[in-house]
Amino acid sequence: MFTSFSIQAPLTAIDSTLQQKIDNKTKPLGSLGEIEGLAFQLGHIQQTSSPDVSKPKMIVFAADHGVVAQGISLFPQEVTPQMVMNFLQGGAAVSVFCQQHKVPLRVVDVGVNAELEAHPLLGVRKVAYASQDFSVQAAMTGDQVALALQAGVDEVNLALDEGVNVLMFGEMGIGNTCVSSCMMTALMGVSPENCVGRGTGLDKAGVSHKAQIIQASLHRAEQDTGLPMSQWTAQTLAEQVGGFEIIAMAGAMLQSAQRQTAFVVDGFICTVALLFAQKVAPNVVAYAVFSHQSNEQAHTQLLAHFKAQPVLSLGLRLGEGSGAILAYPLIQSACVFLNQMASFDSAGVAEANSTIEPKSNVEVKSE
């Protein structure tokens, strides 16, 4: 069964103080655009006018998926453990970007279909050796859902107890764009065709096949549960069509929010994890910083659902936390702006004269 989450939205009492501090910096009102919005959000979450993101951590959850047997990915399942080792050895995109920005990286095995070699950066919380093929049976049992969710909770507790003050999440698992698209279809009630994308590089026929597998899988699940997917609980949805690393990410997000800590959402798969977490506890969204707009078509729909303004839009579709870590320097800059930029008073700079009426229809004469 699900862990019980009690998530309170951040209090609003500090909001006017935050906005006043932002507006009194030596700049025209609103001239730093989304950086100002980021600074406000971080201060709102941390309940301070001097937010701090100097102790970050990236956690990548990894698992395999039985539905890969249906040919929904260009890459074989063996790539998952191979890529996990690449993360640990410092060769993946998320690895080198974390090294660049001095962000500690941890990779958590919640369901990789292999025994991984011990490594200082590896956390082992294996629920099973891959989920089941959800096109023919439920993806996981109720006990496995609870274990996957708890893996995320425990990882967040470990990080926050070490003094981490902002978390970033990523994922690895061949086939997990198909799983995410299936979860999105069930959670939002949209068609599979509107939720599927190229993933690791599928052509048009491959994308169409993926949509057909999702449709068939959801039909199978509705028959097995005796309920239309619109009536599924979060527990039922996870059991029928979830993925271990996606449920673990959702657990991590829920626990981050419960402990009033900002977390950075990566791309499509990570945002589906947030969509699932929202079904469990709606206030979780207040603690989410959206890092980027993915090149996956369905990610635009998800961002619209959350009314989110992502930090970046670079055409990314790699996953593994790459967008989250690329956004981190701008998240840092939002705090630097709020904490270190001079105010009009401290710099002795005159503010704009609000009594001057803007002129209109001014005739400009040339010499």
- DSSP E strand stretches across the chain: 56-63, 105-111, 122-124, 166-172, 263-265, 288-290
Query: Tokens 């890529």 identify what position?
Result: 83
User: What would the two tokens of residue 315 be?
Assistant: 């055409």
Among residues 117, 320, 357, 363, which one is catalytic? 320
Nearest by Cα to 87 from 54, 117, 64: 117
Nearest by Cα to 269 from 197, 325, 193: 197
Tell me the CA end-to-end span of the chain in Å, nearest whole number: 79
> What are the residue ranges of helices labelled H in 117-203?
142-161, 176-188
Q: Which residues pair with 56 in a beta bridge?
A: 166
CB neighbour list of residue 257: distance below 8 Å, 6 or more residues apart: 5, 7, 263, 277, 281, 283, 284, 286, 287
Q: Listing from the earlier edge strand, what are the strands of the sheet with 288-290?
A: 122-124, 105-111, 56-63, 166-172, 263-265, 288-290
User: What would the two tokens of residue 260 be?
Assistant: 């009033």
Q: Is 245 a catalytic residue?
A: no
Which of the residues are catalytic?
320
